């Protein structure tokens, strides 16, 4: 579509989006809802890279604290959880006719390709959704930071942080009915105010590489289309 502003985007999906609220694992309906929205994005024209989280199975830091398993090992376990989500999403997308590839930062050769930057770009150029699993391949880094890193590596023009809320608010909208949606922020404001939108390292990476971030409700109809057209939706974080 000619009114789509961005040629290549990176979509960050949380692991929690793969299950029902307060749920665990992968819910079939949630997975299909995600796939449906990704296919809609592809039909609009941009090349789509996706970074998936693994919090629906395991979060390294909290799991380490609760289980007394070393943080390094717990983080690698979390990386494996992202591979599970990525492979499930790939199967649903391809079932619906959307060519898809999974590339992982940690080697799981039986089910996905290793992440190689040039290979990922080639998949994107051929119209394949490219799902990036395994985080950065290193412990102590979140999938938010991975998303910012991959966006920079792949030359993404926009990073979309998909959530179940409409954007960044002045307070928690679930507990404070007077909380106001913040439509625009600078990277500096996010870091200065220590907002928990994304990890500071992820925000800094996007700032350094001039990659705008849109935080929006992925499951509200029309939001993604507006973001791709450059229209106001959710919260835009930029220079």
User: How far are the Cα atoms of 88, 95, 174, 181, 238 from residue 31, in angstroms, in the given order?
Assistant: 8, 12, 24, 28, 30
Q: Is residue 96 part of a domain?
A: yes
- pLDDT, residue 182, reads 95
Higher-pLDDT residue of 29 and 22 is 29
Q: What gap in Å lies between CA 100 and CA 41, rounded to an integer? A: 14
Q: Is residue 3 part of a domain?
A: no
pLDDT digits (tens, 9 = 90+) for 172-209: 888 888 999 999 999 999 999 998 899 999 999 999 99
Q: Is residue 219 part of a domain?
A: yes
- pLDDT, residue 2, reads 58
Q: Is residue 2 part of a domain?
A: no
Question: Is pLDDT above 70 for 159?
Answer: yes
* Structure tokens belonging to residue 227: 């973001």
Task: Band the pLDDT of 218: cuts 50, 70, 90.
Answer: very high
Q: Which domain holds residue 143?
A: 8-238
Contacts of 210 (CB under 8 A, 6+ apart): 239
Question: Is pLDDT above 60 for 1?
Answer: no
Q: Is residue 1 part of a domain?
A: no
Strand partners, 163: 217
Task: Band the pLDDT of 3: cuts 50, 70, 90.
Answer: confident
Q: How many domains does the chain have?
A: 1
User: How far are the Cα atoms of 53, 82, 147, 161, 169 from residue 14, in angstroms, in the given order?
Assistant: 5, 9, 11, 8, 19
Task: Band the pLDDT of 111: cuts 50, 70, 90.
Answer: very high
Question: Is pLDDT above 80 for 161?
Answer: yes
CATH number of the domain enclosing 174: 3.40.1160.10
Q: Is residue 34 part of a domain?
A: yes
pLDDT digits (tens, 9 = 90+) for 130-158: 999 999 999 999 999 999 999 999 999 99
Q: Is residue 206 part of a domain?
A: yes
pLDDT digits (tens, 9 = 90+) for 44-97: 999 999 999 999 999 999 999 999 899 999 999 999 999 999 999 999 999 999
- Measuring CA to CA, which residue among 10, 101, 12 is closest to residue 55? 12
Q: What gap in Å lies between CA 51 and CA 146, rounded to an integer? A: 7
- For 169-196, b/e burial (b = at least 16 CB within 10 A) is beeeeeeeeeeeebeebebeebeeeebe
What is the pairing mode between strands 235-238 and 213-217? Answer: antiparallel
* Structure tokens belonging to residue 194: 């220590």
């Amino acid at each position: 579509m000619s009114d789509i502003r961005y040629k290549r985007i990176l979509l960050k999906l949380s692991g929690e989006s793969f299950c029902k609220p307060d749920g665990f694992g992968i819910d079939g309906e949630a997975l299909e809802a995600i796939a449906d929205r990704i296919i809609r994005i592809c039909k609009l024209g941009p090349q789509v890279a996706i970074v998936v989280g693994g919090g629906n199975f395991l979060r390294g830091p909290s799991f380490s604290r609760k289980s007394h398993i070393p943080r390094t090992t717990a983080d690698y376990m979390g990386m494996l959880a992202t591979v599970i989500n990525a492979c499930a999403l790939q199967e649903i997308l391809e079932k619906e006719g959307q060519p898809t590839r999974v590339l992982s930062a940690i080697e799981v050769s039986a089910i996905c390709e290793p992440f190689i930057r040039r290979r990922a770009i080639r998949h994107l150029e051929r119209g394949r959704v490219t799902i990036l699993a395994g985080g950065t391949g290193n412990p102590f880094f979140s999938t938010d930071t991975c998303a910012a890193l991959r966006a920079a590596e792949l030359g993404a023009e926009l990073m979309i942080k998909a959530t179940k809320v409409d954007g960044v608010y002045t307070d928690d909208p679930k507990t404070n009915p007077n909380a106001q949606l913040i439509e625009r922020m600078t990277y500096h404001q996010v870091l200065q105010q220590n907002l928990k939108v994304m990890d500071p390292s992820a925000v800094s990476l996007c700032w350094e590489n001039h990659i705008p971030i849109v935080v929006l409700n992925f499951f509200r109809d029309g939001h993604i289309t507006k973001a791709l057209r450059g229209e106001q939706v959710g919260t835009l974080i930029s220079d």
